[in-house]
Amino acid sequence: MKKAERTKQFIIEKSAPIFNTKGIAGTSMNDIMEATQLAKGGVYRHFASKEALSLEVFNYLSNLMHDGVTAVVREIPTAKGKLYGLLDFYDNRILSKWGGCAILNFGAEADDTNPVMKEKVRAAIHRFKSRISKIIIDGQESGEFSKDFDAGNYAIKVFTMYEGAVLISKIENNPEYLHNIIAMLKKEIDLYIL
pTM for the model: 0.90
Q: What is the pLDDT of residue 96?
A: 65
Q: What is the pLDDT of residue 97?
A: 64
What CATH class does 51-190 carry? mainly alpha
Instruction: In whole angstroms, give the CA distance from residue 191 to residue 148.
Output: 10
DSSP structure string for 11-79: HHHHHHHHHHHHHHHH--HHHHHHHHT--HHHHHTT-SSHHHHHHHHHHHHHHHHHHHHHHHHHT--SH
Instruction: In whole angstroms, give the CA distance from residue 42 to residue 65.
Output: 28
Query: Taking 70 as the threshold, does the pLDDT of residue 22 lie above it?
Result: yes
Share the mean pLDDT of the chain: 93
Query: Taking 80 as the threshold, does the pLDDT of residue 41 lie above it?
Result: yes
Averaged pLDDT for residues 157-176: 93
Q: What is the pLDDT of residue 112?
A: 83
Task: List the domain boundaries for the chain.
Answer: 51-190
